[in-house]
Amino acid sequence: MTGIMKQTDTKSIVLGITGGIAAYKAAELVRLLIKQGMEVQVAMTEAACHFISATTMQALSGKPVLTSQWDENENGMAHINLSRQADAIVIAPATADFIAKLAHGMADDLLSAMCLARDCPLLVAPAMNRQMWERAATQRNISLLKADGVGILGPDSGLQACGEEGMGRMLEAAELALGIASCLHPKQMQGVKVLMTAGPTYEPIDAVRGITNRSSGKMGYAVAQAALNLGAEVTLVSGPVALQPPAGATVVRIETAQQMFDAVQARASDCDIFIGVAAVADYRVAHASAQKIKKDGQGMTLELVPNPDILAYVASLPKPPFCVGFAAESENLRDYAERKRRAKKLPLLAANLAQEAIGSEHNQLILFDEAGEHPLPRSGKQQQAQALLQHIIKLRG
């Protein structure tokens, strides 16, 4: 039998590849999953074989690749045998067509039959052109899958194989490997309440102008998502960003630092961990105008007053939660970050270079704690967030 043998602590994955250009990323995904100690059985649709060869996947997985329902070694029961032995089935890439089949319970080839016959979690990594992704039919099918408890990994936005730019790119292999691992591993933060801030604050000058800090919210939202994946209860106090909040988080939307402070103050006594990822404006305008200020060709002086320091407030509560700060610096990163950690009396602070971190998809955090500094390898923000949370779990014991 070519099926995967389940061992007690080894996770067995069926990796289903469907016919999309992102199939090339599945090769790297197999490598990463095996590196994480998983066993991988690859199953490919006929269309997938036009994009990447079964020989490549066999060499990487170390197992014969299944492509047909009618493989004589399996007695026509490959879909039952394989899904019984798997800890999860992952479809990467999942085309719009295959997603439609899954959503409607079709089973006219080995892979779709396996998904229907499974007794384990199903994870789907969509990959398609942005218009196919945005089409109402695809979105309906995704909603159906979500309602059926299927995990959706991605997609991401960016340059597509067709030359267009937008949503629909499959996540990178490293991001998928982490997403799969976090689905398979125990919920290490079950019952833990995480309160956090993310994004910038906006301090009005008048009805149309304001002072703000640069922050897309990507790092903070990634931390929120990673905590949710680990089973935490997450409250995300967010400044104005153009991101979809992670499903499952309680989101409190604010604009100014004072509003962020008020939202945190009201919840700080009821959380186990506080993480300040927000880029909070240190100052606000003393007398903001309700009306648009008319320009008169002369210079203008604004009186600024300091905003409350939210993180310092939480860290100095009589019974503070485990407090984690962030620091974005443009120079002397290590020195400034460690000084900040000590000044705010934090057990942990994550430092990053402002010019590399703000708005980007990737980041490199250096974690500072009482034991010293712990640089993380550069990677996507989701991976940085996962590594940060593992460090928090370790420090909290």
Find the shortest distance in angstroms from Cβ 366 to ligand PMT.
11
The residue (of 51 and 274) whose beta carbon lies closer to ligand PMT is: 274
The residue (of 91 and 327) whose beta carbon lies closer to ligand PMT is: 327
Binding string, 249-288, against ligand PMT, x = CB under 6 A?
--------x------------------xxxxx-x------
Find the shortest distance in angstroms from Cβ 278 to ligand PMT.
4
Q: Which of residues 342-371 bind ligand PMT (CB under 6 A)?
A: 352, 357-359
Total residues contacting ligand PMT by CB under 6 A comes to 27
Asked if 310 is part of the footprint of ligand PMT (rule: CB under 6 A), the reply reads yes
Asked if 216 is part of the footprint of ligand PMT (rule: CB under 6 A), the reply reads yes
Give the Cα separation of 147 and 99 in Å (integer). 14
Asked if 197 is part of the footprint of ligand PMT (rule: CB under 6 A), the reply reads yes
Q: Which two tokens mark 318? A: 């009589």
Give the Cα separation of 155 and 167 in Å (integer). 7
Residue in 49, 120, 162, 183 annotated catalytic: 162
Q: Which residues contact 267 (CB under 8 A, 6 or more apart)?
A: 195, 235, 237
Under 8 Å between Cβ of 54 and 44: yes
Q: At 393, is the secondary structure helix, strand, or coil?
A: helix
Known active-site residue 162: yes
Find the shortest distance in angstroms from Cβ 357 to ligand PMT.
4
Q: Which two tokens mark 113? A: 């039959």
Binding piece for ligand PMT, criterion CB under 6 A, among 3-11, 138-146, 149-157, 303-311: 303-311
Taking CA atoms, 75 is separated from 6, 23, 71, 72, 357, in Å, by 20, 28, 7, 5, 53
Identify which of 81, 53, 80 has the alpha carbon closest to the alpha carbon of residue 67: 53
Binding piece for ligand PMT, criterion CB under 6 A, among 20-28, 131-139, 153-161, 323-331: 323-331
Find the shortest distance in angstroms from Cβ 218 to ligand PMT.
4
The residue (of 126 and 220) whose beta carbon lies closer to ligand PMT is: 220
Give the Cα separation of 329 and 333 in Å (integer). 5
Under 8 Å between Cβ of 219 and 277: yes
First to last CA, the chain: 44
Under 8 Å between Cβ of 49 and 26: no
Number of residues that this document lists for the chain: 397
Asked if 311 is part of the footprint of ligand PMT (rule: CB under 6 A), the reply reads yes
Asked if 340 is part of the footprint of ligand PMT (rule: CB under 6 A), the reply reads yes
Helix (H) or strand (E) holding 194: strand 193-198
Give the Cα separation of 134 and 138 in Å (integer). 7
Identify which of 82, 84, 79 has the alpha carbon closest to the alpha carbon of residue 108: 79
Find the shortest distance in angstroms from Cβ 314 to ligand PMT.
8
Binding string, 51-70, against ligand PMT, x = CB under 6 A?
--------------------
Asked if 391 is part of the footprint of ligand PMT (rule: CB under 6 A), the reply reads no
Identify which of 170, 124, 171 has the alpha carbon closest to the alpha carbon of residue 149: 124
The residue (of 84 and 362) whose beta carbon lies closer to ligand PMT is: 362
Find the shortest distance in angstroms from Cβ 211 to ligand PMT.
13
Find the shortest distance in angstroms from Cβ 270 to ligand PMT.
18
Q: Which of 218, 284, 341, 391 binds ligand PMT (CB under 6 A)?
A: 218
Q: Tell the residue number behind the tokens 């499952």, with chain if given.
A: 248
**Cβ of 186: how many Cβ atoms within 10 Å?**
8
Active site residues: 162
- Under the rule (CB under 6 A), what is the footprint of ligand PMT? 197, 215-220, 257, 276-280, 282, 307, 309-311, 325-328, 340, 352, 357-359
